[in-house]
Structures are given as structure tokens and as C-alpha cells.
Amino acid sequence: MPVAPSTLRTIEVALAQNPYPVAIGSGALESLGEQIGARGFRPGAKVLVVTNPVVAEHYGARAAASLKAAGLDASTLVIEAGEDQKTPATVALIHDAAFERRLERGSLIVALGGGVVGDMAGFAAATWLRGIFVVQVPTTLLAMVDAAIGGKTGVNHPGGKNLIGAFHQPSLVLIDPALLATLPEREFRAGMAEVIKYGVIGDSPLFSYLETAAQRDPQTGLASRNGVGAPLLQRLLERSAAAKARVVAADEREGGLRAILNYGHTLGHVVETLCGYGTYLHGEAVGLGMLAAGEIACAMGLWSRSEQDRQRALIAAAGLPLTLPLLAPEAVLDCLQGDKKVRNGKVRFVLPTAIGSVVIRDDVDAATITAAMDALSAPAAS
């Protein structure tokens, strides 16, 4: 059943040019066509829905039905969209479909899927005819709270992840929490790491709220979609989207403030790379990266052991890994030097100073980094 727009909570991404709404609410998928109409797309406008086989099976027909009910000229392209298929070759398939279906300047691509689909469909939209409209309909927790909002699009190069890309803001982000019902639990937990990240970098009420929820139900904590429940899910999606929207609006092209979103990602990428892509999901590696950043911040006297313990407890409650295999210090340092976040040879770390606040530092010495990674390699303290 279509959802009345009033039952969707809307968060504005307040960009100077082309601001756009993030609309969140259970059942939102059924209002996709209507929401697109409300953004000024006329009946008859061409819409290409890009999705992957799993998501197409669950939600493709519902998305298409909503678009057609709104009079939009919709068709669907199903692409394979594993991380290893996030390549220019797959984007070329989207371009081929755009050509075959004669997409024009006023046409629209709808990205229906996780971050991989969102990044590729967004990049195809950014580059087709030098930019057509894109609407993001994220279907993973990670994409809902992070990838779908902010306009970063792109694909991987053999030399590294996301090396090819463009900024291309969507016209609308439509988040339907009910779509998470079919998401594998491990993917859900990985997304929760990014939610916890928002708490640490700038939203201490969100952090406290998560802590309370975790304590209320120690059985499932935050580790299960069913354990989290609909009201908490709606709330944490709203807070996370608002956090991302604020940072993006203040720094659309990652000049400064937006770098704080990389909290946990510097050493997280090291973990992903050295342990082999696929060993840890991105969010799992980010959780470990946040713990490592916390250790560094403790060692530098920036934040307290008790705050690090709170961060650790929340990451544990989300069912995320707390330890990693021992990594060779030289390999860690080499890998950091290859990271995109290096400026003038210095590695920039986002480090916590309190729950809800972080600083960026480029003066972390090698011994401190090594000690932080070692601390996570030790058996977990009970």
C-alpha cells in the first residue's frame, strides 16, 4: 500500500545548489513513483532502475509497479554487483542500457540496492550525457546510513578501491527500513558500525541511545535486525542520515570537515587490505579501525580509557569483531602510506577526544600505530 508522504520523515541535505531530501519510513518503496513525481519528474519521464539479482527478486517488481502507477516510463536493468564487479566494465553495461532506452537529459536512474549498486548507478548517471538525475533507494543498512547520501559515486580500479569516480548528488534518497528484513544479519551488523561511528564523531545522544538499547536487550544487543525493532531502527536511520547530511552540506567535496566521516576508516582499510578483501566486511573493518583509533587516542592522552571501554562495549553489542590477526608492523605502515588519506607523506588520523567529538591529527608516530594494532591482536579482555 502506498505510504502517505506525511508518514515519511524527511531530512534535508541543505546544499547551496540543488538541496535534496532524504525520506525515511517503513513502506516508502511503495511511494517511490509518487516521491519522484513530487520532485518534478513528469508522467512519461524515462526511468532506468538499476539493481542486482537478489534485490531485484525481493523488491524489483514493487519498485517498478510504484513507478508505473505514477505514470513514469520505467524499465529495469539487473547487473551483477559484487564488490569485484564494481568496475568500469559494469558501468558500461548501464551506459549501454541508457543508450538502448534512449535516456535523455531529463531522464532518471534509480539505484535500488546496496552501496555497490548505488556507487555504480550513481557514477553511470554522473557520466551519461555529462550527468542525468539519480535517485538512491538503498537496501543495506550501510547504504542507508552512508553510501546513498552525499553524492560520492565511483568504481574500483585494479590499483585500488574507488579510484575512479565523481561527485554527483542524487535528487532524492528514499529509505525504507522494511527492506532490511531480507538483509543477511552479518551485513546488518556491518552497517551498525557506521551508525556507531556517527555517535562517536558528533552525536553523543545517538551514542547514549544505542547504549541504552543495547543494555535493555543484552540478548540480541544491537546485533540483530529483529532485536533492534522498528522504532529504534527508524530513529537511528534518521539520526545517521541527519549526521551525514550535516557534514555533506558543510563540506560537499571533502575539503575539510567531511574527512571526519573517515573515522575508523584509515586503519579499517589497512585491515581490509592486509587480511584480504572479503575476510572482513567493510563495516567490520571500520569497527576494528575505530577501536584502533581509540587506542591511539588513549596513548596520545586525547581520550580516556573509560570512553574507549564504552566504544568497545557498543561495538561488541553490535556483534562486530573485536580482535584481528597479528599484522606485521611494516606491512601496516606500508599500507597506510598507500592510502588516499595521506597528505604530503603524512597519514591523517581522525581521533576521538570524547563521545561526540573528534580531531584530525597527522602527527601519530609509527610506534603508537603499531602498539594500537597489537592491542587489538591480543586476546579480547573479558
Residues of the shown chain interacting with ligand NAD in the complex, contacts defined by CB under 6 A: 52, 54-55, 58, 83, 86, 113-117, 119, 139-140, 142-143, 146-147, 150, 152, 161-162, 179, 182-183, 187, 282
Known catalytic residue at 161: no
Residue 329 CB, shortest distance to ligand NAD, in Å, is: 27
Residue 38 CB, shortest distance to ligand NAD, in Å, is: 24
Q: Is beta strand 9-13 parallel, antiparallel or unpaired with respect to 20-24?
A: antiparallel
* Alpha helices for the chain (secondary structure H): 32-38, 53-55, 61-69, 88-100, 115-127, 141-142, 185-202, 204-216, 225-228, 230-250, 265-274, 282-299, 305-317, 329-337, 366-377
Q: Which of 9, 46, 152, 225 is catalytic?
A: 152
Residue 312 CB, shortest distance to ligand NAD, in Å, is: 23
Known catalytic residue at 265: yes
3-state secondary structure of 87: coil
Known catalytic residue at 269: yes
Residue 94 CB, shortest distance to ligand NAD, in Å, is: 15
Structure-block grid coordinates of residue 99: 543508450
Residue 98 CB, shortest distance to ligand NAD, in Å, is: 20
132: Cα within 13 Å, side-chain hemisphere: 24
Other beta carbons less than 10 A from residue 3's beta carbon: 19
Shorter beta-carbon distance to ligand NAD: residue 63 or 372: 63
> What DSSP string describes 318-368?
TT---------HHHHHHHHHTSTTEETTEEPEEEEEETTEEEEES---HHH
> How would you classify residue 193: left for phi > 0, otherwise alpha for psi between -120 and 50, otherwise beta?
alpha
User: What is the C-alpha to C-alpha distance for residues 153 and 233, in angstroms, rounded to an integer?
Assistant: 26
Shorter beta-carbon distance to ligand NAD: residue 101 or 341: 341
Known catalytic residue at 307: no
User: What is the C-alpha to C-alpha distance for residues 214 and 224, in angstroms, rounded to an integer?
Assistant: 11
Q: Which of 86, 244, 312, 348 is catalytic?
A: 244
User: What is the C-alpha to C-alpha distance for residues 13 and 36, in angstroms, rounded to an integer?
Assistant: 16
Q: Which of 168, 197, 239, 269 is catalytic?
A: 269
Shorter beta-carbon distance to ligand NAD: residue 147 or 270: 147
Shorter beta-carbon distance to ligand NAD: residue 187 or 203: 187
Residue 187 CB, shortest distance to ligand NAD, in Å, is: 5
Known catalytic residue at 348: no
Residue 183 CB, shortest distance to ligand NAD, in Å, is: 4
> How would you classify residue 154: left for phi > 0, otherwise alpha for psi between -120 and 50, otherwise beta?
left
Known catalytic residue at 58: no
Structure-block grid coordinates of residue 71: 505514470
Known catalytic residue at 346: no
The pair phi, psi for residue 256, each rounded to 5°, is -150, -80
Known catalytic residue at 282: yes
Shorter beta-carbon distance to ligand NAD: residue 189 or 310: 189
Q: Which of 282, 310, 312, 348 is catalytic?
A: 282
> How would you classify residue 248: left for phi > 0, otherwise alpha for psi between -120 and 50, otherwise beta?
alpha
Known catalytic residue at 226: no
Shorter beta-carbon distance to ligand NAD: residue 62 or 161: 161
Known catalytic residue at 95: no
Give, as one character, the DSSP assignment of residue 144: I
User: What is the C-alpha to C-alpha distance for residues 241 and 22, in angstroms, rounded to an integer?
Assistant: 7
Q: Which of 168, 265, 312, 348 is catalytic?
A: 265
Q: Which of 211, 262, 284, 312 is catalytic?
A: 262
Shorter beta-carbon distance to ligand NAD: residue 189 or 282: 282
User: Looking at the annotation, which residues are catalytic?
Assistant: 130, 152, 194, 244, 254, 258, 262, 265, 269, 282
